[in-house]
Structure 1
């Protein structure tokens, strides 16, 4: 073996066990008993306070590169990912220029990423008005699926689909079993709500009511029933929509859903007026809603937890005025997702096996990455060494992403990432050795 890791605690495909993991040619070649005597050129002995996890997969990351690389970039995003135990990210098709809505744009993005990534990177394509003919070529080029909006995306170059456009996209994707992932907020419901303005968080919350999520999700599920298309609901914030998803699944609709660490961590009641670092869409809702989202994970209605890392430059957060109506909506949480989720999970009786399922196994499956997200023979040798009983206080200035803005600043969190390996090589930041992935690649 080239590398052997001996772990008194590890989260494997069989659950939490003591084991020895052997690596050859960047893959896991053996998961043997702890006292097996397996040897290799390099030996890593984990401490009794450490747990070996499979590298996490974050299938919802806005890198914004090229075009808006002052917001974030491939180098800084992947360094932040590695520091947080994430060994694979899937980049969203918007906020970069050009948006990834055809193969030519995908190649521009791959060229921007090549040779600059410290973890592996896969890509989503986009479904926008008028690009139905581009979906199959993008699918054949290896994107994980197709992102769509049902209301203004925040950037003019990535317009939303109306009901007819959504149906057209689903029919097209059904032909080759493509996946549609949806930012599910209903434009009409939000147009009828009070416009966001000023520094009061309560006013911003009223501008994005939960009914907007419910109406959009109901419409997506209805079309999925009629077309047979596979759909995924992005960044679910309103737990009241969970019965819609559960019911559709019972009816045979191929639907999955995700939520995010910030919806599981923060509550509307604790967000100060003017604290625009907490602005995201859909918004962070009340404490009772947060607890219902945790129950949705426990019940299996929510499949995965991903960051929706959506950073920007500090001035776009409008800290000068604290105006939620003018501030960019997005939370930069890529590096702290694992400790944030673990902090909340352990308080509610969940185990690390649950966290790994939500943040490694399920996102890898959802993004079509069969070599990722499992500590088992044949999988990529991607590892996170995690100290679950250690703790730290987040300092935004010390995070690896490009701009020192974080909703988690000064928040105490449980769990420290002590090391990350990508295909058997430790990620140090000295030289990028991440790869650009295509869907289905092993």
Structure 2
């Protein structure tokens, strides 16, 4: 049998652990995995000494196109993703303008993605108090799920859900058999603490950090879990920043609540002290926490209580990241290129994360949770999405591919050089070079009834 591609001599990172094997590709799919494949192929790739990871599926990205492409767009954002070993991603309904709240805005973003994305992509639909009646419409379009904010999103065009909208949104999402993802911080608490800080003249990074304490995250997580459990809805808690919030969600999962738990590389890699040193590059919500809170987060990760690590890549132009008043800065961290490396390298408390856990957190679990049947693992019949990584090498991150290159990871030392990234069997990235003739396809969930 003739194949399109055979990858020989590498170590496959599977859900059961590393496996020394060859991998054959035809028609964009993995068609054979064996200790040695003797057949011919149009192309042969020598992966000796390299680990082959399933392509990262970044479930949490803000590429802002259309409307704010000058912040970041599909072209530049997907280059950064591919350079970090990603072969697919889910784009959030904001900060594109207008946000994805109905069929027309979905189709506009889909068109831009198909024209400009280097890798495959799915689209989240938004949930606000104003578009509850459009959820069926968005489901018919093929959204990955629905994204809501329980506190101010930073954009008035995407208002936060109140209790009623969250409850009704979860109820409808359950009927549609789709996931509802929520930014879980208490709007009442964060507004109150922010007003207090500003009345007292607060303007520093430390002042900002004090306005979004862990309790604001815990209160919102608890409320969302209560509603989801009551309604039998699929809940996804995005970017949890504290071990306490993860523990609360994991305990609910053990009780039968259908919840998935996400954190981000920046919560694992940076602390509140880094915010004070680096400033605008590390402003986000929820904010970065103390080293002790980070330690607890790593403990939850190492215990297997976190399902997904997504970048929450959310860039903005330099003028949105420049102010003497920390409260006035746009909150969002650029990190699409570094998710895999953060997991492979570990932080103060993270060394020893098994390779199969890295693959599960970055690929398998997001594919399974959001019903993307053809992605997530190195298995026969799935898309040939993979990254070739040299784990024997360490490097300093000096080359960035996102639009503004305002990146807190710049200069960081990481383990594991991503040598090349293949999407559906086609090389999209290799050692700083991209194949701009490749275009990604829209991913739609195929829920199991």
TM-score normalised to the size of structure 2? 0.94
Which residue in 2 is equivalent to 1:429? 435
Instruction: Please give the residue correspondences for 1:158-197 in structure 2 after superposition, counting only pairs within 5 Å.
Output: 158-193=158-193, 194-195=196-197
Which residue in 1 is equivalent to 2:240? 236
Which residue in 1 is equivalent to 2:274? 270
On the 8 A contact 1:68/1:95 being kept in 2, the answer is yes
1:117 CA drift (Å): 1.2
What is the alpha-carbon distance in structure 1 between the residues aligned to residue 28 and residue 175 of structure 2? 35
What is the alpha-carbon distance in structure 1 between the residues aligned to residue 171 and residue 250 of structure 2? 23
Larger displacement relative to structure 2 (229-238 or 243-252): 243-252
Which residue in 2 is equivalent to 1:305? 309
1:243 CA drift (Å): 2.6
Q: Which runs of 5+ in 2 are unaligned?
A: 429-433
Which residue in 1 is equivalent to 2:335? 333
On the 8 A contact 1:7/1:51 being kept in 2, the answer is no
Does structure 1 residue 439 correspond to structure 2 residue 445?
yes
1:200 CA drift (Å): 3.3
SS at match of 1:276: helix
Instruction: Please give the residue correspondences for 1:343-358 in structure 2 after superposition, counting only pairs within 5 Å.
Output: 343-344=345-346, 348-358=351-361
What is the alpha-carbon distance in structure 1 between the residues aligned to residue 441 and residue 217 of structure 2? 35
2:388 to 385, 390, 393: 385
Does structure 1 residue 365 correspond to structure 2 residue 365?
no
Q: Give CA-to-partner distance per residue, 1:30-50, whole Å, 9 cap, x none.
A: 1111x34243111001131x1
SS at match of 2:247: helix
SS at match of 2:111: helix
Runs of 4+ residues deviating >4 angstroms: 196-199
On the 8 A contact 1:200/1:274 being kept in 2, the answer is no
1:285 to 289, 295, 298: 289
What is the alpha-carbon distance in structure 2 between the residues aligned to residue 166 and residue 270 of structure 1? 34
On the 8 A contact 1:83/1:335 being kept in 2, the answer is yes
On the 8 A contact 1:7/1:52 being kept in 2, the answer is no
Larger displacement relative to structure 2 (430-439 or 230-239): 430-439
Which residue in 2 is equivalent to 1:132? 132
Which residue in 2 is equivalent to 1:144? 144
What is the alpha-carbon distance in structure 1 between the residues aligned to residue 326 and residue 69 of structure 2? 23
Which residue in 2 is equivalent to 1:54? 54
On the 8 A contact 1:4/1:40 being kept in 2, the answer is yes
On the 8 A contact 2:345/2:351 being kept in 1, the answer is no
Which residue in 2 is equivalent to 1:115? 115
On the 8 A contact 1:263/1:290 being kept in 2, the answer is yes
Larger displacement relative to structure 2 (364-373 or 83-92): 364-373
Aligned-residue RMSD, C-alpha: 1.7
What is the alpha-carbon distance in structure 1 between the residues aligned to residue 15 and residue 39 of structure 2? 19
On the 8 A contact 2:16/2:356 being kept in 1, the answer is no
Q: Which runs of 5+ in 1 are unaligned?
A: none
1:273 CA drift (Å): 4.7
1:290 CA drift (Å): 1.2
On the 8 A contact 1:13/1:376 being kept in 2, the answer is no
Does structure 1 residue 89 correspond to structure 2 residue 108?
no
1:130 CA drift (Å): 2.5
What is the alpha-carbon distance in structure 2 between the residues aligned to residue 343 and residue 100 of structure 1? 35
On the 8 A contact 2:243/2:297 being kept in 1, the answer is yes
